Structure formats: C-alpha cells, structure tokens
Amino acid sequence: MIEAVGLTKRYGDKTAVYNLSFQVRPGSVTGFLGPNGSGKSTTMRMILGLDNPTSGQVTIGGYPYRRLPNAPRQVGALLDAKAVHGGRHARNHLLSLAQLSGIPARRVDEVLGVVGLQDVARRRSKGFSLGMGQRLGIAAALLGDPQVLLFDEPVNGLDPEGILWVRNLMKSLAAEGRTVFVSSHLMSEMALTADHLIVIGRGQLLADMSIRDFISANSADFARVRTPETDPQQREKLTAALTEAGGHVLPELDGALRVTGLPLPRISDLAHSSDVRLWELSPHQASLEEAYMRMTQGAVDYRSTIDEKAGLQQPLPPGVQPPMPVPGQGQPGWYAPPSPQQGGQPFAMPQGQPLPQGQAAAGPYGAPYGAPAAPAAQAPGGPNPYAQPAASGPGPARPGARGSRGPCGLGRAPQRPLRPPRSRAPHPHSPSRPPPRPPPLPT
Ligand SMILES: Nc1ncnc2c1ncn2[C@@H]1O[C@H](COP(=O)(O)OP(=O)(O)OP(=O)(O)O)[C@@H](O)[C@H]1O
C-alpha cells in the first residue's frame, strides 16, 4: 500500500503539492487524475524518493522509498519513457537495470516478451517510436516483478491495440493483489481501467472514491429532448414550459435540449400540454469525462482562449478564473444542478451514514472527499496557498467505502506484505503461464 500523509512540495514560491493525504490499496487499479500542472508527477516522484517532500511523508508498505529493502524488486515505475540511454539496445538497457538490482538476465527476456518487444530487443532505443518507448518503460517497471507499480501516462503514444493491452495488463496486475497507481488524462480509458480514483487540482486532493461514486457525486442525470428542427418555435415553447415547471434547460450543440431537474414522464406531459411534438426524449448519465470536468473546472491552470467547454459552463467575464470546487457546494458556474439523490449536495455523505472512524469532517481542503483524516488541524506544510472561505455545508463525503467492488468487478484482494526478494512465486507472465498477449509491433 502507498500512503501519503500531509504531503507538501514547494519549489521556491511555487506550491506544487499541498497537504495531500491518501492511500493507494492493493488489489485494484487506482487512477490518479488532475489537470496539467496539478502535481501528479511531483507526487509520483516523491513516492519514488526522487524528490523530497517539503513537509509530510509518503510511504510504501510502511517505509519511505529510500529505506525500502531492495526497493527495485518491491516497486516498479514508469515515469518518463524517454529517460533511456538512446544508444543502448533495448535488451541492454533492461539488462543494466536488472544487474543493478540483482535480477537474473532471463527475466529481461521474459519482460521483453510480455511487452511485445522481443523482435526489436537488439535495436537501439533512440530509433523507437513513442509507443515502443512506452513498452520499454513498462518492461522496466515489470522487471523486478514488483508488488507496487506506478505508471505515469502509460498509454501515451500507444495505438488502440496497445491501449487495450495496457488496460488488461493493469487489471491483471491488480487482480493478482498488486498495488497499481496510474495517472492518465484519457478519461474514457480511465473509466475502463481504474476502479478507484484519486483526483487532485492545484496540488490538493479533490476526490478519493470509486469511479462509480465519483460520477454520481459529480454529475446529474439528464434528459435529452429534441423537437422538430423545422419549427424552432416549438423548441422555444418547450424551453419556456420546462423552465416554468422548475427544470433546468441547456441547449446542446446539435440543437437538442439537455434537461435536468424533471423526470422523463413530466417532460413528456409538459410537451404534450404545450402542444409540442418530440422527436427525442432519452435518459442520460454523465460520463467520467463530464464528471471530471465538472469537478476540476475551478482547478485548471492552462486553458485555451477559445475553449467553450462545449456549452456546459456559464460564460465568465474576460480574465476571470472559475473558483475552485467547494465540497458540499459543487462547482459554481455549471448549469447541471447537484445530483438529486445527494439531497442537493453533490459531495454529501448518504443520509444517516456516519463518517468512518478517523475521518475528519473538516472544511473544504482540510481532509477532503474521502481522504484519510489529516494528521493535524493545522496543515504541516504551512498555510494553504489556495485557501478559500469554508463551506457551510456538511462535512466531506466518502461515498465509496474501500473494499467495494469496482466497475471492473475486481474485488479488493487482502493486503499482502511486500514480498521478500528471492522467495517469489513464479511470475504470472513468465513462460510457465502465458502472459496477456501483447499486440504485434510494426517491423
Ligand atoms: N523541479 C521543479 N521546479 C519548479 N517547479 C516545478 C518543478 N517540478 C514541477 N514544478 C511545478 O509544479 C507544478 C506541478 O507539476 P507536475 O509536473 O507535478 O504536474 P502534473 O500534474 O504532473 O502535470 P501534467 O499533467 O502536465 O504532467 C507545476 O506548476 C510545475 O511547473
């Protein structure tokens, strides 16, 4: 298990990570999400002992990485696939890593096979494509048959077949009881791969929950309604009737209407009584991407001047940044209202459910959304550089109790201690057990 407590990292006056507390558990794939520059790579580097926290700590199996016995055989990581000596053959690159960690040479050939690079093993890596470089990086991460794996954007540059292969690999590693922590900006892929999410924005924890809970906490179900395109007045008439009845109506890019706050039969009745014909009336649930956009909208640092968020966000005056999301209040400025099941509080604990023991019910950024309780009321990393007025709503939510089954159907394996170096069971991808079949590479 990876555990961060009050993790803070400052570079001069830049706070890259602030008071981050979370756990990454074995037996499931945990996705690590956040906008560009939100601190994901910095966090991963601190987990791997490549950067020192300014305050707080992060441990793997109870040890800081640098004190972990035989760390390369306990923890594997892909941080930067380009961090390879380009003049070396792929096999020699892996061989040098293996020799540094006392890993036998035959394991190098095993992992080359697992990632599908066996045919180019004696080619210099500087001639590799982006996707081949990613595979080499994944091979290096698997070399020590580690119990804990970190992948920073592992599908970057991979073709669809390669993406599917990585997805299956991550899931099978987690199903074996390993801890798999993976960052990605590809929401559709994350929705298929991960069963738990840790989301950060501007270095702070925004959410720590199952994907299913994340989507339902950060999105509202909605109806799509379409009236005949030949008669725009019908659309206006319906919009007026729905709004009057308490619905929230948002025009979609294709001319349909997105309606929240009214059940489908009521929308149908209102259309009928307004004498409006419908060409479509369909129920929809927001995707992980929409839920993520809604959650992180206020924590985005870099945004195109022509970005209109596909019409989902209210226009802001020029130069005005949207505020950070506030627990219990949702993301201000979004049309979609909070999920009705949550009693109007998108991050609220289901009613009658007490906070788990040790769970702080603190202000917005003290112990946010399902994070483990912060060690102290005062953040160890000093004052919060992004502090906002505290929400008056209920405390932070933890809708997704750990241990629940994720969308991949993987149960959480009991936590296993880190494996002693040489008493390993045969590697699941060793020749004795057929590995997930990697897609063929272009020659
Ligand atoms: N060595 C450094 N010196 C100064 N600032 C740094 C350093 N490393 C990271 N930062 C800053 O810390 C912030 C977080 O960066 P980080 O690379 O961790 O973000 P990220 O979430 O991984 O971004 P991306 O999704 O774009 O990869 C950024 O503002 C970045 O400029």
Nearest CA to ligand 1 atom 6: 11
Provide the 10 A C-beta neighbour count for residue 228.
12
Q: Which CATH architecture has domain 1-219+288-443?
A: 3-Layer(aba) Sandwich (3.40)
Out of 142-151, 155-164, 371-380, least confident range: 371-380
What is the arithmetic mean of pLDDT over 277-287?
A: 88
* The pLDDT of residue 378 is above 70: no
Q: Which residue has the higher pLDDT, 177 or 365?
A: 177
Query: Looking at ligand 1, which atom is closest to the CA of residue 44?
Result: 18
Residue 255 is given by DSSP the state S
Please list every protein residue whose CB sits less than 6 Å from any atom of ligand 1.
Answer: 11, 14, 16, 34, 36-42
Which pLDDT does position 390 carry in this prediction?
A: 40
Q: Give CA–CA dist 71/100, Å, rounded.
A: 11
Q: Give CA–CA dist 115/138, Å, rounded.
A: 7
Q: Give CA–CA dist 15/440, Å, rounded.
A: 43
**Closest C-alpha among 265, 405, 267, 248 to residue 340:** 248
251-280: pLDDT as tens digits: 988 889 999 889 999 999 999 999 999 999
Out of 47-51, 297-301, 347-351, least confident range: 347-351
Which pLDDT does position 354 carry in this prediction?
A: 38
What is the arithmetic mean of pLDDT over 377-405?
A: 42
Measure 11 CA to ligand 1 centroid, in angstroms.
Answer: 9
Q: What single-letter amino acid sits at 436?
A: P
| pLDDT bracket for residue 381 (50, 70, 90) | low
As given in the structure block, the two tokens for residue 441 are: 């590479």
Q: Which residue has the higher pLDDT, 441 or 305?
A: 305
What is the arithmetic mean of pLDDT over 330-338?
A: 37
Distances (CA, A) of 23 to 59, 95, 101, 367, 381: 10, 33, 27, 13, 19
| pLDDT bracket for residue 148 (50, 70, 90) | very high
Distances (CA, A) of 17 to 6, 58, 204: 10, 12, 6
Instruction: Find residue 55's DSSP bridge partners.
Output: 8
Alpha-carbon Rg of the chain, whole angstroms?
A: 24
Which pLDDT does position 383 carry in this prediction?
A: 58
What is the arithmetic mean of pLDDT over 370-395?
A: 44
Nearest CA to ligand 1 atom 2: 11
Question: Which residue bears the tokens 């057929």?
Answer: 434
95-117: pLDDT as tens digits: 999 998 889 999 999 999 999 88
Q: Which alpha helices (DSSP H) does 26-69 contain, by range?
A: 40-47
Q: Give CA–CA dist 226/405, Å, rounded.
A: 37
Among 13, 40, 43, residue to substitute to test ligand 1 (most atoms within 8 Å of Cβ): 40
Which pLDDT does position 110 carry in this prediction?
A: 93
As given in the structure block, the two tokens for residue 370 are: 């399902």
Question: Which residue bears the tokens 């509202």?
Answer: 220
Q: 98 with 107: CB under 8 angstroms?
A: yes
Out of 53-62, 129-138, 432-441, least confident range: 432-441
Measure 183 CA to ligand 1 centroid, in angstroms.
Answer: 14
Backbone angles phi, psi at 246, to 5 degrees: 100, 5
CATH of domain 222-284: 3.30.70.100
Q: 83 with 141: CB under 8 angstroms?
A: no
As given in the structure block, the two tokens for residue 375 are: 């060690």
DSSP, collapsed to helix, strand or coil, labels residue 129 as coil
Q: Give CA–CA dist 260/224, Å, rounded.
A: 9
Out of 44-58, 86-100, 254-268, least confident range: 86-100
Measure 158 CA to ligand 1 centroid, in angstroms.
Answer: 23
Q: Give CA–CA dist 203/9, Å, rounded.
A: 9
Q: 344 with 228: CB under 8 angstroms?
A: no
Measure 16 CA to ligand 1 centroid, in angstroms.
Answer: 6
Q: Give CA–CA dist 32/26, Å, rounded.
A: 15
Domain boundaries, the chain: 1-219+288-443, 222-284
Q: Which residue has the higher pLDDT, 127 or 260?
A: 260
Nearest CA to ligand 1 atom 12: 16
Among 38, 156, 205, residue to substitute to test ligand 1 (most atoms within 8 Å of Cβ): 38
Q: Is the ipTM of this complex over 0.90?
A: yes
Among 8, 9, 11, residue to substitute to test ligand 1 (most atoms within 8 Å of Cβ): 11
Which pLDDT does position 299 carry in this prediction?
A: 64
Nearest CA to ligand 1 atom 3: 11
Which pLDDT does position 187 carry in this prediction?
A: 84
Which pLDDT does position 298 carry in this prediction?
A: 67
* The pLDDT of residue 37 is above 80: yes
What is the arithmetic mean of pLDDT over 320-326?
A: 48
Distances (CA, A) of 134 to 10, 138, 146, 259: 29, 6, 18, 43
| pLDDT bracket for residue 8 (50, 70, 90) | very high
Tell the burial category of 81 from Cβ atoms under 10 Å away from its Cβ (0-12, 13-18, 19+): buried
Which residues, including other chains, have CB under 8 Å from residue 231's CB and lie 6 or more apart? Answer: none
Domains 1-219+288-443 and 222-284 share a fold: no
